[in-house]
């Protein structure tokens, strides 16, 4: 063994890999010769693929697949001409790059309205059983004087009467102009894969992915006891989602661009063979943004008022493919700063490890869900109230009768902050040969989420609502005696125990016992949840989705009576309200295990 160690030292000394060593090949050429690395390319292309016989029989072709994954890496002693000669092998570097270029086919099979349906002609529309589907005129709704409330609703005991459209055709004069304008962005059927005109829209669209990443690392020895390590990583990417529609009403995901930057530095101090201290700092930032395809202002183009111009409105139409999408525009940035110090020492049978960590989190979000509005259409408003297999969501859309609507009024981004600190002690004790006991304890402190400009709000059940006198009113951060944060500072103790035992010194048998308890912290999520007083989401709800619409498209959405910021305690009334848990509860995890390995 001693001879092997001596041989290793001699060879590493000759190669210049040990502190104070000179390379066997003198000068700059010797340093360059000790660099090593590789260049790689992973290539895939549908040109190389065989087309299955069953695809050829049906006139199909191979699916699009173009992928290139390439890069390089190089490492060795650092040498900068005329600046740093790298003598003694004290500084080493590593540099890597990887890129991806990909285009791959994605397919979608869905159902869109037929051409007669778009004109209000439902004479050929059937239900799932293939029976004629009747649609009813909501303007003819009236109570049934012969209704028996003691019996269930049925065709013989209707609570409300409603007349069907003559010949199952909606008169052109009743078609909503906004719905008709929106249909210009709705593609026509192009397939017939299913019965009853279902699965009549098939599209194959390419998905585009591009990514570039760089990793760099530098190791430098300061004398024999000190070592510095610096690392840097950068990445950029683009995800071009497949386009299901060739228009602005595309319901697919928006294109997204993202990036990540990370830098770290670490100092290792070897005080002795038994004692080591490591201090490190790491900073990381990542972000993503998505935009709107083409120009904006589509809501105004189709005649829809009361919503923002940034995107195409979202129309949810029951069993048919939607138009538009949520979150068409978003911007998110996430920053994390971490300081860590680890001290470890060994004395006889005892090994002690003390770790301190402090982390600062920042999340910046601009995340409007429905900037041009969201409208949901159901079968109820064109059905016979209380009777299934009547009415249709697309018929309700043609009439412009939405059963629910919502719009996002986001006035500013949100800048969230949170801190976390941990102090951990781990003591490992080798009681006798083959018996090892480890005790651990962590004191964790987590601060609640705050917003840089105190733009946070939540429903507080300790406050009475001034409109109805019931518990539940809007509380604003930093106002009315409320602090900047809605949750308390959480300090938790997390213990742990593990035992490893080899009975009678038999190395072939190991008994392990472990117990651990820890707490999960609520992270800083992307988005702008719990900022309702400053970024409103007015909701328009039908009192009965079978009798009255929430909104009429031709009339648009009414302007908010109190535009944001709306700091009134009743501002969350009649909305989908945000409620933040203000207690000190945390997710708690406890685990225990016993294993025997032979």
Going residue by residue through the chain, which has 598 residues, state the pLDDT in tens, using 9 for 90 and above. 455 555 556 555 554 555 454 444 444 555 555 788 999 999 888 888 787 766 666 566 778 888 999 999 999 888 777 777 665 568 889 999 999 999 998 888 899 999 999 999 998 888 877 888 999 999 999 999 999 999 999 999 999 999 999 999 999 999 999 999 999 999 999 888 667 778 889 888 899 999 999 999 999 988 788 999 999 999 999 999 999 999 999 999 999 999 999 999 999 999 988 999 999 999 999 999 997 644 578 999 999 999 987 789 999 998 999 999 999 989 999 999 999 999 999 998 999 999 999 999 999 999 999 999 999 999 999 999 999 889 999 999 999 999 999 999 998 899 999 999 999 999 999 988 889 999 999 999 999 999 999 999 999 999 999 999 999 999 999 998 899 999 999 999 999 999 999 988 788 999 999 999 999 888 888 889 999 999 988 889 999 999 999 999 999 999 888 889 999 999 988 887 889 998 999 899 999 999 999 8
DSSP code for 197 = G
Q: Is 15 left (phi over 0), alpha (psi -120 to 50) or beta?
A: alpha
Nearest in space to 37 (alpha carbons), one of 81, 92, 101, 113: 92
H or E element that contains 7: helix 2-14
User: Nearest 5°: phi and psi at 509?
Assistant: -125, 130
Strands 314-317 and 374-377: parallel
Domains of the chain: 1-27 (no CATH), 261-283+330-365+414-519+579-598 (2.40.170.20)
Strands 510-519 and 374-377: unpaired
Distance CA 30, CA 9 (A): 19
pTM given for the model: 0.82
- Other beta carbons within 10 angstroms of residue 535's beta carbon come to 24
77 CB contacts (<8 Å, ≥6 apart)? 16, 23, 31, 34, 35, 86, 89, 91, 92, 93
Burial degree of 115 (CB within 10 A; 0-12, 13-18, 19+): exposed
Strands 226-240 and 201-222: antiparallel
Query: Structure tokens of 512?
Result: 């392990």
Before 185, cis peptide (omega within 30)?
Answer: no
Distance CA 333, CA 337 (A): 14
Distance CA 550, CA 28 (A): 78
H or E element that contains 394: helix 393-398
Burial degree of 475 (CB within 10 A; 0-12, 13-18, 19+): buried
> Coil, helix or strand for 195?
helix
Q: How far is CA 454 from the centre of its chain?
A: 24
């Amino acid at each position: 063994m001693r001879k092997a160690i001596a041989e290793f030292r001699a060879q590493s000394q000759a190669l210049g890999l040990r502190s104070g060593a000179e390379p066997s090949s003198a000068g700059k050429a010797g340093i360059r010769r000790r660099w090593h690395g590789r260049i790689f390319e992973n290539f895939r292309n549908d040109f190389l693929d065989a087309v299955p016989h069953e695809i050829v029989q049906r006139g199909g072709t191979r699916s699009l697949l173009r992928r290139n994954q390439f890069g390089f890496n190089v490492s060795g002693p650092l040498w900068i001409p005329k600046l740093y000669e790298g003598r003694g092998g004290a500084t080493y570097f590593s540099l890597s790059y990887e890129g991806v270029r990909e285009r791959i086919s994605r397919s979608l099979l869905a159902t869109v309205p037929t051409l007669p349906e778009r004109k209000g002609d439902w004479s050929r529309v059937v239900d799932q059983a293939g029976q004629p589907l009747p649609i009813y005129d909501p303007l003819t709704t009236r109570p049934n004087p012969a209704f028996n409330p003691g019996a269930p609703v049925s065709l013989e005991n209707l609570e409300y009467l409603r007349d069907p459209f003559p010949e199952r055709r909606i008169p052109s004069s009743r078609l909503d102009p906004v719905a008709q304008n929106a249909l210009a962005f709705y593609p026509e059927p192009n397939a017939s894969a299913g019965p009853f005109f279902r699965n009549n829209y098939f599209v194959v669209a390419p998905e585009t992915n591009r990514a570039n990443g760089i990793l760099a690392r530098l190791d430098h020895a300061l004398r024999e006891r000190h070592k510095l390590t610096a690392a840097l990583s950068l990445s950029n990417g683009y995800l071009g989602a497949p386009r299901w529609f060739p228009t602005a009403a595309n319901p697919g995901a928006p294109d997204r661009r993202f990036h990540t930057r990370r830098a770290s530095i670490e100092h290792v101090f070897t005080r002795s063979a038994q004692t080591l201290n490591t201090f490190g700092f790491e900073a990381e930032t990542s972000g993503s943004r998505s935009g709107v395809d083409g120009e904006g202002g589509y809501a105004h183009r189709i005649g829809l008022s009361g919503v923002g111009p940034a995107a195409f409105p979202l129309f949810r139409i029951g069993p048919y493919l939607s138009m538009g999408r949520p979150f068409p525009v978003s911007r998110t940035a996430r920053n994390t700063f971490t300081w860590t110090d680890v001290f470890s020492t060994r004395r006889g049978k005892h090994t002690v490890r003390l770790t301190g960590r402090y982390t600062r989190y920042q999340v910046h979000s601009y995340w409007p869900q429905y900037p041009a509005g969201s409208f949901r259409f159901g079968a109820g408003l064109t059905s016979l109230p209380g009777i299934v297999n009547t009415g249709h969501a697309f018929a309700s859309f043609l009439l412009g009768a939405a059963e629910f609507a919502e719009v996002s009024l986001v006035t500013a981004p949100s800048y969230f902050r949170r801190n976390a600190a941990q102090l951990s002690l781990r003591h490992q004790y080798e009681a006798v040969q083959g018996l090892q006991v480890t005790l651990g304890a962590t004191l964790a402190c987590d601060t609640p989420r705050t917003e840089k400009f105190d733009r946070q709000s939540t429903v507080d059940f300790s406050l009475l609502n001034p409109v109805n006198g019931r518990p539940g009113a809007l509380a604003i951060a930093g106002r009315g005696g409320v602090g900047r944060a809605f949750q308390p500072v959480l300090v938790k103790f997390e213990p742990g125990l593990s035992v490893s035992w080899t009975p009678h010194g038999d190395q072939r048998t190991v008994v392990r016992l472990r117990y651990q308890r820890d707490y999960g912290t609520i992270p800083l999520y992307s988005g702008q949840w719990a900022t309702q007083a400053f970024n409103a989401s007015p909701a328009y709800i039908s009192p009965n989705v079978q009798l009255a619409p929430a909104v009429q498209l031709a009339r648009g959405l009414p302007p908010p009576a109190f535009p944001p910021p709306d700091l009134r305690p009743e501002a969350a009334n009649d909305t989908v309200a945000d409620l933040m848990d203000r207690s000190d509860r945390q997710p708690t995890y406890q685990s225990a295990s016993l294993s025997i390995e032979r």
